[in-house]
Structure 1
Amino acid sequence: MADKLKQLKLAAVNIDGVLLNDTFSPVIHNFIVSRGGEYTADVERSIFSQPQLVGGQGMANAARVPWTAQEAIDVYFKEREEYTREHPVELLDGAIDLLRRLRGLGLKTVSYGGLDKSHFDHFLGEHADLFDEPGYVCTNDFRPGLREITTEVFGLKYDEVLFIDDVARVAEVAKALDIPFIGHPSSFEHSFQPQLMRESGARHIVDSLHSIDEELLRTLDAEAAAHSVWRD
C-alpha cells in the first residue's frame, strides 16, 4: 500500500468536464453563434462557473437576444437536452481510476458543480462509495465554491485541499486563496479555457485524467506543505 499524503486531506473534483465529459461548452458556443453572436474569451468568463442566472444573462448578452436570464437558461437547457441525445453524458476515461488513486493516497473525495445533486446521483450514484459525505456539493448559489467547500463543508485549511477543475475562473480563485489546483481544461475546439488557464498561472494542467498520477499528486502534496503551488 502506498504511503499516505502528508499535507493534503481532501480532493474536490469538479463533475462536468473532469469526471464527466464536457457537454456544456459545445451547447453554449452554438447558443451564441447560431444567433449571430461572437464567441470570445470574455464571453466564456461571463458564463463559466457562474451562478446559472449570471451565466444565463451572459449568454443572452453574447447572443444579442432580448431575453431575461431565466429565459436564456430555459432555452439553453432545452438545447443541451437535444445535444445530449446524440452526444451522451458519460464518465471520462480514467475518472474512476483517479478517484481510487486519490483515496488510495489517503484523501477524502467530494465532487461539486452547478447542477443539483440529482445530476450526480444519476451519473455517479453507482460509484457513491468512492466519495465522502456529502458526496456532492451544489455550488450554484456560491460559485465557484472553493472557500465554502474548504472551510464550511469540510472545516479544512486552504493548503489541505486539492481542487481539480476544467475552468480558468476556478484556477484564478485557487490562486487568490493559495489553494492547490490541477487544471483539466476542455478539449472543445472553440474553448478558450486552456489559454485562460495558462494565463491564470496554473502550473499543473493536464489533458488526461491518467496524467494525474501518484507522482503529480505527491508533487502537489509537497508544494502544498511549502505553500509553493502557485510559485515557480
Structure 2
Amino acid sequence: MRLIAVNIDGVLLNDSFGPVIRRLVESRGGVYGPELEQALLSQSQMVAARAAAEVLGGSAEALLAAYFEERERYVAEHPVRVLPGARELLERLRGLGASTVCYGGLERKHFDRYLGDLELAGLFDEPGYVCTNDFRPGIREITEDVFGLRLDQVMFIDDVARVAEAARDLGVAFIGHPSDYESGFQRPLMERAGARHVVRSLGEIDEELLLRVDAEAAAGRSWPGRGV
C-alpha cells in the first residue's frame, strides 16, 4: 500500500452535510429517503443542486445558496469538531509507512481551519488536502493524477456509499465509516454496495484491520467477487 486517502467530513470531522441536506429537503416539502441521499452526497456542488432541483423545484443556483445558508445555521447550533480517535487514526496510518492525504468537496480553507490549527495537518503528506468538488468522488484523480500511483496501491476511507461504489468499480481498497447521523442511509447503502469493511468508530480502524485490507488489496480481493 503506497497511499491512504482519508475523507475529511464524516471521517475526521463530524458530518455537517447529511443533516443539513435533510433539513433543506423537508423544509421544502420533499421526501428524504435513501435514493435522494445517494443522489446528493459526494457529488459536485452544482450536480447535487441540480438533482435537488428536480425533486424540489426552483433553480439549482437558488438551492445551492439556500443550502449554504442552512449549513451556516446548522453549524452554529452543532459546531464542526474533530471526531474522537482522529489523531490516533492518522498516527496509525503514518506508522504503516504509506503516504497519507486528506480530501473533500470543500475548499482547502475548510481543511486548514479545522485540522491545520490542531497540528493534525502535519500528519499528512504533500499536498495535504485535495479538493474534489470538480471531480467527485475523486478516487482515480487522487490516485493517478495527484500521486502518480496505480489503483491497486491505494486505500480510501470514506463515509459515503457513492465512494464505496466507485472504489468497488475500480477495485480499490476501501474502509467505510458512515456518519453517526441517525437518520442517514449510508451504512445500509455501503453494505448493499458490497463493502467488506464498514466500521462504527475510528478506533475500529486498527493496525490489524489495516493490515488485513492491505493483504486483500495485494491479492486483488478488496471486493467480493474479485481476485482468488
- Superposition map of 1:99-118 within 5 A: 99-118=90-109
In structure 1, the partner of 2:133 is 140
- The reply to whether residue 93 of structure 1 matches residue 95 of structure 2 is no
- Corresponding residue for residue 39 of structure 2: 46
Cα shift readout 1:56-75 (whole Å, capped 9, x = no counterpart): 1222333x232x21211111
Instruction: Name the structure 2 match of 1:172.
Output: 165
Q: What is the RMSD computed on CA atoms of the aligned residues?
A: 1.0
Q: 2:70 aligns with which of 79, 87, 110?
A: 79
* Structure 2 equivalent of residue 190 of structure 1: 183
Give per-residue Cα distances to partners, 1:35-64, cap 9 Å, x unaligned. Answer: 1100011101211110100111222333x2
1:121 alignment counterpart: 112
State the Cα distance separating 1:9 from its structure 2 match. Answer: 1.0
Match of 1:3 in 2: none
Q: What is the aligned counterpart of 2:214 among 207, 221, 225? A: 221
Pairwise CA distance, 1:187: 1.7
Equivalent position of 1:150 in the other structure: 143
Q: How far apart, CA to CA, are the structure 1 residues paired with 2:83 and 2:53?
A: 30
- Amino acid across the alignment from 1:120: F
Work out whether 1:26 is the aligned partner of 2:28: no
- The one-letter code of the counterpart of 1:192 is F
**Structure 1: which 5+ runs fail to align?**
1-7
3-state SS of 2:89 partner = helix
Give the equivalent residue in structure 1 for 2:57.
Answer: 65
- Structure 2 counterpart of 1:90, which letter? R
CA-to-aligned-CA distance 1:175-208 (integer Å, 9 cap, x gap): 0100000000112122111111000000100010
Question: Is residue 2:4 matched to residue 1:11?
Answer: yes
- Is the CA contact (8 Å cut-off) linking 1:46 and 1:54 kept in structure 2? no
Superposition deviation, residue 127 in structure 1: 1.7
2:124 aligned partner: 131
Stretches of 4+ aligned residues off by more than 3 angstroms: none
Instruction: Please give the TM-score of this superposition, normalised by the length of structure 2.
Output: 0.95
* Count of aligned pairs between the two proteins: 223
Aligned to 2:201: 208
Matched residue of 2:134: which SS? Answer: helix
Aligned counterparts of 1:58 and 1:118: Cα–Cα separation in 2: 26
How big is the shift at 1:231? 2.3
- Give aligned-pair identity as a percent: 59
